[in-house]
Amino acid sequence: MDSVRSAKAPLPVKIIVAGGFGVGKTTTVGSISEIVPLTTEAEMTSAAIGIDEPGQASTKSTTTVAMDFGCVTIDDSLKLYLFGTPGQDRFGFMWDDLVRGALGALVVVDSSRLDDCYPAVDYFEQAGLPFVVAVNTFNGQLAHSLDEVRWALAVNDQVPVVAFDARVRTSVRDAMLVVLERALQRAMVTGAH
C-alpha cells in the first residue's frame, strides 16, 4: 500500500503537432496515441475546392476543424499530451490557445509542398517555442533531401530536421523524442542564464 501512495503520476508534457493542410498531423497523433484520439474531422465540401489542396495524389476527404488530441506515456515519469493544430490559415486564430503551455512542437512537412509549412515554422520561431521539422515520407520517399528542406525553410542549425513516417508508431515516437530532447536543451540553456 505504501508503494502505491509514494508512486508519482507521470509529469504531463504538452506537445503541439502542426503543419500545413494534409501533411499528416492527424495521422501522426493517431499513430502514437495510446487512447483513441479525439479528432475534430469534418467532411470537406465543394467550398474548399481551390482553397484546401492536399496534393495531387491525395484521397483526403476530411479536414481538422479544431484540433486533434492524443496521449502517450513515455515512461513512469513522463506522459505526452499531443495537440494537433488545424492546417488551414482560416483556423489560425486557434493556435495561440492550443500552444499555450506547450513545451515544444513537431512541424510536419510534406517535402513536395514546402510552402504549406512556412506559417507553422514562422509561428514557432516568433513564439520562441522549441520545434522540430519532421518531413513525412509519403510513399517512403522525399521530394527533397533533408538538407534541401532545411535550406528552403531557412531554419538554423539548432532546429532538427528529421524524416519520419506518420503512419508508423515507432517512427512517430522517434520524432517525438527529438522534440523532447530539443525542449530539454532549450530549458537547460534558459535555466543557465
Cβ distance 13 to 81 under 8 Å? yes
pLDDT tens, residue order, the chain (193 aa): 455 555 788 888 999 999 988 899 999 999 999 998 777 656 655 544 444 455 555 454 555 555 789 999 988 888 999 999 886 565 556 678 888 999 999 999 998 889 889 999 999 999 999 999 999 998 788 989 999 999 999 999 999 999 999 999 999 999 999 999 998 888 777 765 5
Compute the Cα dihedral for 109, 113, 116, 118 and give only its sign.
positive
All residues at 6 or more sequence positions from 71 whose CB lies less than 8 Å from its CB, including other chains: 33, 34, 35, 79, 80, 81, 82
First to last CA, the chain: 42
CATH classification code of 2-192: 3.40.50.300
pTM above 0.85, yes or no: no
**DSSP single-letter state for residue 85:** P
